[in-house]
């Protein structure tokens, strides 16, 4: 079975963005989210705040899209060898 790269990447990117947004808002609402501050190492400008959650949404969409596109492309190319 072949994966359609663009639809898979778009849906994965949206899902990753929503998860990043929810994780940031949840961390902000609870004990301060010290573990989420590690994301600022990978995402410049990110912080555990309302503004940071929007930026996290954008970073999640971009990173999720790129990661899923690479995964789907590799899956499709290695799938040719198993037949």
Q: Exposed/middle/buried for 39, CB within 10 Å: 0-12, 13-18, 19+?
A: buried
Confidence (pTM): 0.85
Q: For residue range 59-82, list pLDDT tens digits in order.
A: 999 999 999 999 999 999 987 776
pLDDT digits (tens, 9 = 90+) for 6-50: 999 999 999 999 999 998 888 888 876 677 788 888 889 888 888
Separation CA 51–CA 47 (nearest Å): 8
């Amino acid at each position: 079975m072949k994966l359609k790269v663009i639809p898979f990447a778009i849906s994965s990117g949206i899902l990753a963005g929503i998860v990043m947004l929810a994780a940031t808002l949840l961390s902000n609402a609870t004990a301060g989210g010290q573990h989420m501050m590690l994301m600022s190492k990978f995402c410049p400008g990110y912080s555990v705040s309302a503004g940071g959650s929007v930026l996290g949404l954008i970073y999640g969409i971009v990173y999720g899209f790129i990661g899923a596109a690479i995964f789907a492309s590799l899956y499709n190319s290695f799938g040719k060898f198993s037949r």
